[in-house]
Homo-oligomer: A and B are copies of this chain.
Amino acid sequence: MGKPTETRRAEIILGALSAAADLGLGAATTQAIADRVGIGQSTIFRHYKSRDEIFAAAIESIGANMLRALEPYFSGGDSAAVRLKEMIHAQLIFVSNNRGLPRILFSDSLHIDSPILKQNVQRVMRNYSSRVVQLVQEGIEAGEFDKQLDPTETVRYLMMLIQGLLMRWSLFDFNFDLEAEAAPLWDFFSRILKAE
C-alpha cells in the first residue's frame, strides 16, 4: 500500500486548498485534487467519505492555522494599538499565502450548499472575533482607544473591512499586493479608534 492515511489526509487537504485557490471551490473536483496529490481519483475516497468532508476538514485546518498565526498578537507585550496593527498585517500575509481561503469565502458552495461548511466558517469567525474584541477592550482600558467605542461593534466593522478587501482581491484575480494594503487599512481604521 501507499502512505499511511493520516499523511494522505493532510496531503489531500493541501491539494484541495491548492485546487480551490486556482480553480475555485466549485471547480476543485476530486479529480483535480487527486492530480495535485498524485493519486487516482477513486483513491480519494479511501481517505474521505465524500468531497464535502474534504472541504469541511480543509476549512477546519485553514481556520486553525490562521488563528495560530495570529495568536502572538493577542497576548504580546506591545501596546494594544501596535498589536492590533500587526495582527491585521499578519492576517493579510496569511491570506496572501492561502488563496484558497477567499475562494472558499466567496463560493456558493459555502453560502448555499453546505450548512456544515457554513457552520465551520462561522465558528472560526466567532473565535477570531472574540479574541480581537478582547484586544480592543485592552486598548480602551489602557486609554489608547476612545472610551466611547463599543468593542464588539468596532470589531464587526473591522471584519467587514477585511472581508470587503478580500472580496476585492479575489474579484481582481489576486492581482494586487494584499500585504501592501495593511498600512492604508490601518490608517483608515485607526481614525475610528483614536482617543479624543
Contact yes or no, A167 B164, CB < 8 A: yes
Cα A112 to Cα B20 in complex, Å, equals 10
Query: Is A161 close to B, CB under 8 A?
Result: yes
Stretch at the interface among A3-11, A67-75, A101-109: A101-109
Q: Count the A residues whose beta carbon is within 8 Å of the partner chain — how many?
A: 38
Cα A153 to Cα B105 in complex, Å, equals 24
Q: How many copies does the complex hold?
A: 2
Residues of B within 8 Å of A111, CB to CB, are 24, 103, 106-107, 170-171
Chain A interface secondary structure, helix, strand, loop or mixed? Answer: helix
Query: Is A162 close to B, CB under 8 A?
Result: yes
Contact yes or no, B168 A112, CB < 8 A: no
Query: Is A93 close to B, CB under 8 A?
Result: no
Query: Is A160 close to B, CB under 8 A?
Result: yes
Query: Is A165 close to B, CB under 8 A?
Result: yes
Of the A-B pairs whose beta carbons lie under 8 Å apart in the complex, a sample of 30, sorted by A's number, is: A24-B111, A24-B112, A26-B108, A26-B109, A26-B112, A27-B108, A27-B112, A27-B113, A103-B112, A105-B106, A105-B167, A106-B108, A106-B111, A106-B167, A107-B107, A107-B108, A121-B171, A122-B171, A153-B188, A157-B188, A159-B164, A159-B168, A160-B164, A161-B161, A164-B164, A167-B167, A188-B192, A191-B191, A191-B192, A192-B192
